[in-house]
Structure 1
Amino acid sequence: MAAPQEIQVTFVSGKDLQNVNWRHGPIKPYAVVWVDPSSKLATKVDEKGDTYPTWNSTLVIPLFCPINDDTNLYVDVIHAGNEEKTKPLIGSAKLNLRDVLKDSGRYEEYEKSLKLKRPSGRPQGKVDVKVLIRGPGYHVPDQSRAIPSYGHPQRAPYGAPQPAPYVAHPSTPYGAYPPASYGALSGYGYPYAQQPLQLPQNPYYPFAQQGGYSYNAYNY
């Protein structure tokens, strides 16, 4: 069944991220996004940007529920590494989708610099995103709807009535290993691979929890 709505999220870049790997060197950040915690998508890893990463990754999330005051887009930014005593979670943020609709409506990009925080509420940097909510009249190829995916679409100029649909790269589950072109890190999962999901065995980051992270410490 096709989703009645889709959320297109473009992760542009990060700013002044906290280096959670300071004992060993730079961080290699990637972003994870979801509305439903059972369906998480991830960007590519930025191997070189350190605390100022650039992703330019676009993810499409099917949305089967109506957008109300409690419908949020959740974001985690994570270090792709397994260094000793390094906690991979850099920071988390959330964005209320009702606010996106009020500001931009459908088919208009909403640009936001999200403030990342630790569960304790400590600031951890910012992430620049663009969010577009698509109504049911926007037709994406069936493969893109059925399989979570990422890619770099050739989009119409900003402000166009309806951008042309694109076919994204094949997706892989959050927590799996990357394609060979990225160069794998041993012991900890990169976000992409053409193979079944393999969760990293890391005691500091609860990948397997269905409920995601607690946002009770946030004061928005």
Structure 2
Amino acid sequence: MYSRHEVQVTISSAKHLKNVNWRHGDIRPYAVVWVDPSNKFTTRVADGDTSPFWDERLVIQLTAPVDDSILHIDIVHANPEEDTKPLIGSARLSLSEVFDDVGFNEPLEKTLRLRRPSGRPQGKLEVKVVLSEHRYHAPEPYAPDPYYVPPPPPPYYAHPPPPPPYGQPGYATVTHTTHVHHEEHRRNNRGLGAMAVGAAAGLLGGLAIAEGVEELLDD
């Protein structure tokens, strides 16, 4: 798990280093830098024997709060012979001390005293340290508007309704049908009236014929 802070360490130079390679020549020192021992960083190998110059910056992501983090630096001789112990000297710096002195985003130039594995002081190391936040920030998770309600889908028709007849509104059909019924009713009434007139005429005719027959018989 990572902290949201990082430390930028510039390894500038050193002096009065012990020549651990004195049997075979000059030393060729480089720096090993870490906060978490499982994640170490190194500078290039510098010339200069016991007074090397690097001016190299390393950026280390913190894995713990600043108050609980300690910067470790080892100065090591490169490619040692079999009878040469490569560690030249070590230094430590509490990052809470950096924060107390300058806070975040401000450089602290510091002279650290190097110590041999026995604990005896041997040499000095010039560094510059800056505490800062990450330059990368993950994007905020997307959250939809809680008040947004999507519109309902349009109605689905398996078969579209038929258009009204003659391009008229649907209610015109009722009016037209009612008018047809009135016309049929009037036609039916006319037929009944004609039938009644015909029946009456037939009845009168029958009466007239009967009276004629009776008159002939009387004659």
| Same fold flag (TM > 0.5) | yes
1:2 CA drift (Å) = 6.5
Give, in angstroms, the shift of residue 135 of structure 1.
1.9
Q: Which amino acid aligns with 2:62?
A: L
RMSD over equivalenced CA pairs, Å: 1.6
- Residues 74-94 of structure 1 deviation map (CA, whole Å, 9 limit, x = unaligned): 010000022131100001110
Amino acid at match of 1:86: T
SS at match of 1:22: coil
User: 2:124 and 2:76 mapped to 1: Cα distance?
Assistant: 13
SS at match of 1:121: coil
Question: Sequence identity, in percent?
Answer: 55
- For 1:65 and 1:2, locate their aligned partners in 2 and report how far apart those are by CA, in whole Å: 7
Q: Are 1:44 and 2:61 counterparts?
A: no
Q: Higher relative CO (CA 8 A, sep ≥ 6), structure 1 or 2?
A: 1
Structure 1 stretches of at least 4 aligned residues deviating more than 6 Å after TM superposition: none
Name the counterpart of 1:20: 20
Counterpart residue type for residue 29 of structure 1: P
SS of the counterpart of 1:30? strand
> 1:118 Cα deviation (Å)?
1.4
Q: How many residues align?
A: 137
State how far apart, in whole Å, the 2-side matches of 1:12 and 1:30 are.
11
- Is the counterpart of residue 80 in structure 1 residue 78 in structure 2? yes
Alignment of structure 1 residues 33-72 onto 2, 5 Å? 33-46=33-46, 48-68=47-67, 70-72=68-70
Q: Deviations over 1:88-108 (max 9, x none)?
A: 000111000000000011110
Structure 1 gap segments, 5+ residues each = 141-220
Letter aligned with residue 122 of structure 1: R
* Amino acid in the other structure paired with 1:98: S
Aligned to 1:103, the other structure's residue is in SS state helix
* 1:91 partnered with 2:89: yes
* 1:143-193 Cα deviation digits (max 9, x unpaired): xxxxxxxxxxxxxxxxxxxxxxxxxxxxxxxxxxxxxxxxxxxxxxxxxxx
Give the distance between the partners of 1:122 and 1:90, measured in 2 at CA.
11
Whole-angstrom CA distance in 2 between matches of 1:33 and 1:124 = 18
